[in-house]
Amino acid sequence: IMLGVFDGKIAITAFLISLGAIFMINFYYMSGVEKTDYNRIFSDVVDVVTSNINKDDIGNAFGVGNDIGQGKINENGVDLSNTKLLKIFPSDTDTIYLRSWVGANYSNDRWTSLSPDKTDEFRKLAAAGVNPQNILRNFLWITKGVNINKNYKYTFDQNLGLSFIRVGIAYVQIRTGLLCVPPMFISNSLDSKQLLWGYTGDGIYSVRRNLLDQPVYFVDTVIPKYNTDGFKKTFLNKQAEYEKLAADVKKTMDSPQGQANSDTSYSLIRDELLYRRFVYQSYLNVPENMSGELTRLAQKIVGNSKTTFEKAEKIRVYLAQNYSYNLTPPSSQKTDSVYCFLFESKQGFCSHYASSMTLLLRTLGIPARYSTGYVVQTKDYGEYAPTLGLTEQNIIDRSGITVYPRYAHAWCEVYFDGIGWLPFEATTSFSNPMHIEQSQAGQTAPQSFEYDTHEEFEDELPPVLGEGIEVDTSKINYKFIFEVALLVFSAVLMLVFIRAFALLLLAKYNTGIRREMFEQFDKRDAVNDIFEYIISISQKHILKINPGELLMDYAKRIDLQINDSKIKFAKIIPIAERSLFSRHEITETDRTAVILYASRLREHILEGKKPFERFILKYFDSTFNF
């Protein structure tokens, strides 16, 4: 078409420009899943090319090849390679902690996450709207430490001994399904990026998209300054105010009237009390063979201290002043690593310090947990200049601060009633950034920090074109309009063909990909997601579910309609109900049965379609792919 209107050079130039523009526009408007698929193809090609190059660096993520991340406490120390894992862009010069994993249970030199029963209990709390990450923000709102205006702008009082900063985080080479976030983050930009992130466990977050595809995500976080009067007096005094309110809520929260109470403050306090109950049931266990000696040491350290903060600080200072940092500490074949660290060698690295503080606090009845991730100290900033008001646009050309495996770290987090989890740094070699005077850090921070929990992360709408514009039709160049129209038409036509071709390639490439993803998910999550997929395609292509109809009754109607002994919906309903509504363990056999049914159902639906419908459904309906 273009060759018939323009001369050859113009036509070819216009064609190439259109082709490039079409690809960029097409990629921009793709869904996140499609972008991830394209990038997975590219990533697979790169992996093939680099399969024999830098093997130690490929897949070097936290929890892979690093004993700290896997919860082990032993002599292997820290990975000191130079793999570039992350880049961060802080708005201030504070030391940044990035948590990726939490240990709840300690035994035989190793931390593990919550038990399956406790994980199920936590997920039910989260499903009911109890979000531990909001506890600090709710505490500040209830005790008037934060103001919220009608546009959801949050203004915090910095006289509380808290520093508020924004951190941009970009994944460079790290490959993990776990999310790296500051331990006290209070809002993030992840929802607007549709990363499908959520809780894997208490304090552990996961994503179901490749974070290497995301340019940057932002987290607004709190950093406590424990040695300031603002924190020790003003902030902690608010805890006493909160506990008075909590005492009243505690009296009625389990009653029908309390559960039906929709008052905002009451609801927020009730949620914290529900989570607090879970915390005290989950984070106080100590190995029996060490309990006695740990208790005696802890009581000796804290003496007559009364408050949680005083006890935590005394244990932190004791460990920092009486033990030596050593990446290759002496080990004992006869005793536990933490016991050896505390009572024999008195040498170790961050895992030993964090584990010791966690267990010592637990013997005093104070909930504590072992957290791992990365720490970027002020000395690592180099020439990086912090900038307030960080956005994707104003950090594109900034170098950021690179996070390497050697920044891997472990620390202790302590639960403060009403406030939530606060991190404590006991390791001797670290600068204890949370324990310095506020005048020595956070100098660029404003007296009040204002940010928007969601609107700042939404793209601004462009102005409406054509409003108030008057056009002189007598001067319109119709030939030019015709030529432009032809160009636009050819570009759209090209877009259609490219889109169709790309979808065909993706459909071919994706055969079995999502099934493989389901096989890698947590069993319960996989069963729930596949069951949702089964219900979706069953309603769309076979029978609609009737209002109020039980799942088993609906399954029997589907089975009658299909009439195939190999495709029995009713057989997997008990598995789905067990996964959705009970705490019973979901086995590999359960997951396999649900995947097999979904595959057979999909093939049955395809067989019943006419050739053209089958082609469209198979290659162009992303909701139908499995």
What is the side-by-side strand order in the sheet with 408-416? 96-103, 368-376, 408-416, 420-424
Residues (pLDDT < 50) of the chain are 1-6, 31-67, 70, 75, 192-193, 435-476, 513
Q: How many angstroms separate the Cα of 287 from the Cα of each of 36, 108, 280?
A: 44, 9, 16
What's residue 528's pLDDT? Answer: 85
What's residue 244's pLDDT? Answer: 94
Prediction pTM value = 0.60
For residue 42, give the 3-state DSSP assignment: helix
Find the Cα–Cα–Cα–Cα dihedral 554, 559, 561, 567, rounded to 10°: 130
What type of residue sits at position 531? F
The per-residue pLDDT for range 458-512, each reduced to its tens digit, is 322 222 222 332 333 344 456 656 766 777 787 788 877 777 776 666 655 555 5
Q: Helices marked H in 143-286 — which ranges?
A: 229, 236-252, 256-260, 264-282
What's residue 492's pLDDT? Answer: 80
DSSP string, 578-621: HHHH--PPPPHHHHHHHHHHHHHHHHHHHHTS-HHHHHHHHHH-
Q: Which residues lie below 8 Å from residue 397, measured CB to CB, with a gap of 6+? A: none
Closest residue by Cα to residue 239 from 271, 262, 272 = 272
Q: How many residues does the chain have?
A: 626
Distance, CA of 119 to CA of 100 (rounded, Å): 17
Compute φ and ψ for 54, nearest 5 degrees. 50, 50
Say if CB 555 and CB 594 are below 8 A apart. Answer: no
Residue with tokens 């302590």: 414
DSSP string, 525-569: HHHHHHHHHHHHHHHHHT-PPPTT--HHHHHHHHHHHH--TT--H
What's residue 416's pLDDT? Answer: 97
Distance, CA of 370 to CA of 413 (rounded, Å): 7
Within 140-206, strands assigned E span 146-148, 153-157, 162-171, 185-188, 198-201, 204-206
What's residue 623's pLDDT? Answer: 67
Q: How many angstroms separate the Cα of 619 from the Cα of each of 393, 493, 501, 503?
A: 36, 19, 10, 7
Distance, CA of 264 to CA of 45 (rounded, Å): 52
The per-residue pLDDT for range 255-299, each reduced to its tens digit, is 888 888 878 889 999 999 999 999 999 999 999 999 999 999 999
What number of other Cβ atoms are within 10 A of residue 287's Cβ? 15
Closest residue by Cα to residue 281 from 111, 71, 125, 73 = 125
What number of other Cβ atoms are within 10 A of residue 573's Cβ? 18
